[in-house]
Amino acid sequence: MSLMINILLVDDLEYSRELLRAALLACMREHQVEIEANFFHSATGKLIPEQIVKNSIDLVYLDIELPNISGLKVLKEIRKAEPGIMVVMVSGESSAENVTTAIKTGANGFIVKPFNSGRILDSLQNYLKKVEQL
């Protein structure tokens, strides 16, 4: 049995969104994670809570650095609108401050660019654990 999920990738760089999408799909195949995914993309943090509802998003990968708004601010907006959704922050800047702030703000995980398949697998397995608990 396979689980169908909707994943929202939020990054202002198209190639970063595509790399993350490819890494997620490769990780699912390689580790036989039983998830089939529909991917949705956004280049900005605008209207993310609305997109989550409209597209029935289950899992969000959110870049910290977006044009005109901080990904951390978007995370706060997501937490207000959809407190139970899983959000994994993504950043090329892995400072302790970024990671700590993201987790304190409500992120369920943190992945550093360039993408590491182990961290991506961890985020998927954490999502599956969350679903099993429901």
Is residue 1 pLDDT above 70, yes or no? no
Range of the domain at 37: 3-133
Task: Give residue-wise pLDDT tens across range 37-55.
Answer: 999 999 988 889 999 999 9
CATH of the domain at 116: 3.40.50.2300
Two tokens, residue 108: 């369920």
**Going along the chain, which residue ranges are E strands?**
3-10, 35-42, 59-63, 65-66, 69-70, 86-91, 109-112
For strands 65-66 and 59-63, give the pairing: unpaired
pLDDT in the model for residue 48: 93
Looking at the structure of the chain, the number of domains it has is 1
Q: What is the mean pLDDT of residues 11-39?
A: 90
Distance CA 72, CA 31 (A): 30
Using CA atoms, how far residue 131 sits from 24, 92, 105, 126, 134, in Å, is: 18, 28, 21, 9, 5
Whole-structure pTM value:
0.94
Structural contact between residues 109 and 123, judged by C-beta atoms closer than 8 angstroms? yes
pLDDT in the model for residue 98: 85
pLDDT in the model for residue 36: 87
Closest CA to 5 of 130, 117, 115: 130
